Each structure stands twice: as structure tokens, then as C-alpha cells.
Amino acid sequence: MSVIPTRPSDQDESADRATLATRLRALDRVLNFAGDRISSARLRPARYVARRASERLALSANHTVVALAGATGSGKSSLFNAIAGLELSAVGVRRPTTGSPHACVWGPEGAGELLDWLGIPRRHQTARESALDADSQAELRGLAMLDLPDHDSTEVAHRLEVDRLVELVDMLVWVLDPQKYADVAVHGRYLRPLARHASVVVVVLNQVDRLSPEESAQCLEDLRKILDADGLGEAKLLATSATRGDGLAELRLLLTEVVAAREAAAQRLSADLDVITADFADLTGPEAREDIDRGAVKRLCASLASAAGVPAVGEAVERTYKHRAQLATGWPLTRWIARVVRPDPLRRLHLDLPSSSDTPALGPPPRTSLEPPHAVQQAQVESAVRELADTATAGLPAPWPAEARRAALANRIDLPDALDRAVGTTDLGMSRKPVWWRLVGALQMLLLVALIGGAIWLIALSVIATLGFTAPTAPEVGVLGVPALLVLAGLFLPPLVAMIARSVAVRRARKARAKAEAALNDAVTAVARERVLAPIRAELRVYAQLRDALAELSRS
Ligand SMILES: Nc1nc2c(ncn2[C@@H]2O[C@H](COP(=O)(O)OP(=O)(O)OP(=O)(O)O)[C@@H](O)[C@H]2O)c(=O)[nH]1
Ligand SMILES: [Mg+2]
């Protein structure tokens, strides 16, 4: 047996507690991030550990709670009495004997709250202050030892009490006896699940006085193998006899060491956190990707653009450009016909808004008259959203791909409206008349004035001639007089000018369409970013934060 270690320095102890506190804060963060994403049944043990740990850490750090657990008749109460040196717990022949837990505290100051927290009835609490004169008892100062009921009881209440306290105590001494040490119930139900708690589990094979030395050695060897298979290879194993006294000194020494080290409480909580860490290990995988696949974003934007009617608006812009150019540059006398015969395509779609900077904000912009997306377009948008969520979370474990899809699709009901608003408020570049329209328009007016002027001039000359007066000679250019030239120019140039203007307008209209579609695509991309990409990114951030928190939680 090793010598009793010296009490750890306050510095070591506070370092241990600081690590534990850091891990507990990490657990809080894990619970926070996982809260809405993991079933509450799965989170329950972690929530319980978090609460239990903070409660235990707020209670006496000077006491170590050690519980004696085991089957009925294994000798828990007998060992409890032997260590206490008093007949505190009834030892009986009628099974089960111990119905509710008993406690004995060595150095009771500050232990009251701890025992209350453990739920030990006051009448079953004993303080060992008066007996601390004996050296062997003084060494146990700080020990709060519990004698538990039997875990294999016919009484359900006993089992529930054992299960409750096994979760709470700092250290467990499992008392087995030669008849039932390999019992499946104790190994399967209690010892195997405590594999990560090996540092705070001691197994005692009691009643070795019933065995020959050879049988005892054989039994211990067999039990060791079973414990190794349980994952408790590091757990200490002792042989004792409560009646004959074998191994009692060793058990007492072990308890003395544990109490002096004051580490069991932190080790137990640490082991609890290890279990939670292992439970949650499947929630994280590789690092979340920083950039979302551009191809998938492009495909999403393309399907959103088609659902938003961008091609239809682009076409309307092109037709409107040609239409308005014709109105501005056609022959003034026949312009009105075009206005009456063909309505303005953009105005028909309610897209003839001035650029957004010119309009004062007076509530939401009115809806456009674009067709709402039909079922096929809607389905294409949803599949592009899903594809994007899937590529963004590729390689991540459940529930992240499903969570990213859920987050990305959460806004799908509002998407058509958001897209319509985006399209309706985009400056399509059609609010100002191009300068060349004005110039050509002015030329057409000039030609009309020339036609009318020339005609009046000619009429005036012929009236004067008819009345027999000598008409003043009109200036001549070449063989024709200026009035006739003015009339000819006013008659034949306008269609020519209109034809040239039309061919220019056709090319310019295509450019205007491309520009408008680029602006519309930008607006659609902004909607995609806000309504689809942002929720996916937010989900990836939660994943990254949970991953960090789990990494911190696993740091022991
Ligand atoms: N021979 C022998 N008998 C023992 C030993 N330890 C306990 N006993 C006897 O075994 C019987 C049961 O002992 P308890 O200490 O009451 O056992 P327990 O584990 O507390 O049982 P429950 O309270 O019913 O869970 C008593 O008759 C004890 O005298 C031992 O080491 N050797
Ligand atoms: Mg008992």
C-alpha cells in the first residue's frame, strides 16, 4: 500500500476546480447550442450532470462522500460499522436489512448541507467528532461514509434510492460476496456503466473468511478478469472480511488517502463530464466549411430569378425601350397612334416605378403584376435550396444537414413576396429618357416645322400669284426653291430618320435589357443571401460553436 499523500496544495486544488469550472461552462454552452436541435431525452443526462455538478461544487469541498453499495447480505452494513468502530447500521439475518441510507461523518462541520443535499434522513446521520481522539479515526476526518440499501432488492424503493445516490456520491465502494460476485445484475446495471469512473470506484470482495486462501485467490483473480472486461481495469480491488477483520486496515488506508487528497469529488464530476463528452461525440465531425459552394449558390440564384420572373421583366424592358424610343423619335404626327395601339409593357406590369432613390418611403411597395411562380418553379427553388444546404453541410454528421435544410427552407413561404418586392423596387434604368431620343425627337419636330413652314410659304406664294400680285421670289437652292425644299425635307426625311432611330433603338434595347437583368439578378441574389444563405450560415456558426464547446468540454 502506498503512503498517505500529503494534502494537495490549495493551488493544485484550485487548478483542478478551475479546469472543472471551465468544462462546466463549456457544458452550459453545449446545452445552449444543442438545445433546440437535439431531443430533450438525449439532453436530459447532460442537464442533470450540469445541475448536479454545480450543486456539489457549492457544497463542502472538505468532505468526500463515499458510499458502500452492493447486494443484500454482502456485508455493507458490517463493513460500515467496522470502519466507524460503532454499531451504527443494523446488521441482520432478515434480508434486506438496510432500508434507507445511513451516514457517518468524520469532522462534521460544514457537512450538514451536504448530507441534506444527499437526502440522508437526519436520524440516520452520525458525527464522529467525539471519537476523533483515536488516531485511526482522526485520519478519516473529512470522510462522509454512506451505507446504502441493497441494489438487488425486492423493495423497489431500495433500488431507486441506490440509483439516486450512485449518481450523487464522490466515490463508490462496491461490496461483493463470494456467492454473487459475478452476478450479471451488478455488472451489467452498475459496474459496466461506471467504466469511465474507474478512478472513483473501489471493489471489495467481502466474506473471504468463508473461503480457503486458495479459493480466495482464485475468486479474486476471476473477479479481476470480470472487472477488466467491464472496463474497470483501473478500479482498485480489495479482499475483506468484516467479521474476521481481513483487509479492513487496507480499506481504511485507502479511504484515508482519498479523504486527504480531496480529489474524489472533482474526479467523479470529471468522469461524469467524460461520459457526456462521449455521448455527444457523434454530434460533431470535421470543421464547418467557410465558403459555401459557388456553383450551388449560382444554381439557387438562377432558379430564384426564373421564379421571380426576371426573364419576363427583361423582355418587357427590351420591348418598352423600343416602344418608348419609337414614341420619342417617330414622326410627331403619327406618334399618338403607337401610344394608343400598344400600351407600355413595363407600365402594364406595374414596373414603371421611378428609381428607388427618387421615391419617398411610403409603406411597402405595391405588388407587381408579374405572374406568381408556378408549381414547377417553386419546386425548382426548393430543390436548389436543399442542394445548397446539403453542399454547405456535406460531411457533417446528423442533425446538421437536416437542421441546415430546415433553416434554409424556413423562409420559403415568404420567398415569392420577397422576390416580387425585390423586382418591384429594382431600378430598371428606364426612368430617364436617353439624350439621343431627345435629339432625334427635336429633329423630327424641326422637320415638321419645316414641312408646315414650307407648305404655308408655297400656299402664300400661289395665293399672291393668283391674286395677280407679283410674288417675291423665294430663295433657291439648286433648281428648287427653299419652300419646296422645306416641304420635301419635311415629307421624306422623317420616315428615314425614324428608320435609322429604330435600328439604333433595337441595339440599345438589347443593352438596356442586359443591364436591367443584371440589376434584377443582383436584387435576387440579395434576397437569396438574406433568406437562404444567412440561415444556413447561422446554422454552420452554431455547429462551429458547439464543436468548440465540445472540444473544451473534452479537455480533462
Ligand atoms: N462470514 C461473514 N459474514 C459476514 C461478513 N460480513 C457480513 N456478514 C454477515 O452477513 C450478513 C449480512 O450482513 P449485512 O452487513 O447486514 O449485509 P448488508 O450488505 O448490509 O445487507 P442489506 O442491508 O440487506 O443490504 C450478517 O449476518 C453479517 O453478520 C463477513 O465478512 N464474513
Ligand atoms: Mg445493510
Whether 78 lines ligand 1, by a CB cut-off of 6 Å, is yes
Tell me which ligand sits closest to the C-alpha of residue 74: 1
DSSP single-letter state for residue 373: P
**Which ligand 1 atom lies nearest to the CA of residue 95?**
24
Q: Whose CA is nearest to atom 9 of ligand 1?
A: 75
**Adjacent-strand bridge partners of 125:** 103
Q: Is the Cβ–Cβ distance between 145 and 103 less than 8 Å?
A: yes
Confidence (pLDDT) at 356: 43
Best CA proximity match to 171, nearest among 98, 266, 102 = 266
Residue tagged 482522526 (cell numbers): 138
Q: CA-CA distance, 18 to 103, in Å (whole number)?
A: 30
User: And the C-alpha cell for 384?
Assistant: 436548389
Confidence (pLDDT) at 128: 79
**Adjacent-strand bridge partners of 410:** none
Q: Is the Cβ–Cβ distance between 370 and 349 less than 8 Å?
A: yes
Whether 204 lines ligand 1, by a CB cut-off of 6 Å, is no
Q: Is the Cβ–Cβ distance between 204 and 247 less than 8 Å?
A: yes
Q: Whose CA is nearest to atom 24 of ligand 1?
A: 96
Best CA proximity match to 98, nearest among 73, 118, 123 = 73
Neighbours of 454 (CB within 10 A): 22
- What is the 513 CA–ligand 2 centroid distance (Å)? 90
Whether 76 lines ligand 1, by a CB cut-off of 6 Å, is yes
Confidence (pLDDT) at 5: 41
Half-sphere exposure of 148 (CA within 13 A, CB side): 31
**Which ligand 1 atom lies nearest to the CA of residue 210?**
1
Confidence (pLDDT) at 357: 43
| Residues 6+ away with beta carbon under 8 Å from 386 | 405, 408, 409
User: And the C-alpha cell for 405?
Assistant: 435544410
SS3 assignment, position 148: coil
Q: CA-CA distance, 299 to 491, in Å (whole number)?
A: 54
Half-sphere exposure of 65 (CA within 13 A, CB side): 34
**Which ligand 1 atom lies nearest to the CA of residue 74?**
19
Stretch (H or E) spanning 334: none
Q: CA-CA distance, 302 to 304, in Å (whole number)?
A: 5
User: And the C-alpha cell for 329?
Assistant: 423619335
**Which ligand 1 atom lies nearest to the CA of residue 68?**
19
Whether 243 lines ligand 1, by a CB cut-off of 6 Å, is yes
Q: Is the Cβ–Cβ distance between 323 and 338 less than 8 Å?
A: yes
Whether 81 lines ligand 1, by a CB cut-off of 6 Å, is no
Whether 82 lines ligand 1, by a CB cut-off of 6 Å, is no
Whether 92 lines ligand 1, by a CB cut-off of 6 Å, is yes
Stretch (H or E) spanning 491: helix 482-528
- What is the 176 CA–ligand 2 centroid distance (Å)? 13
Q: Whose CA is nearest to atom 12 of ligand 1?
A: 73
Whether 242 lines ligand 1, by a CB cut-off of 6 Å, is yes
Q: Is the Cβ–Cβ distance between 332 and 493 less than 8 Å?
A: no
Whether 98 lines ligand 1, by a CB cut-off of 6 Å, is yes
Model pTM score: 0.80
- What is the 122 CA–ligand 2 centroid distance (Å)? 18
Block means of pLDDT (10 residues each) for the chain, 556 residues, are: 44 73 96 91 96 95 97 95 85 72 92 95 82 70 96 87 96 97 94 97 98 97 98 97 97 96 94 96 90 88 92 95 93 81 82 51 64 80 91 94 94 87 92 94 96 95 89 80 93 94 97 97 95 94 95 85
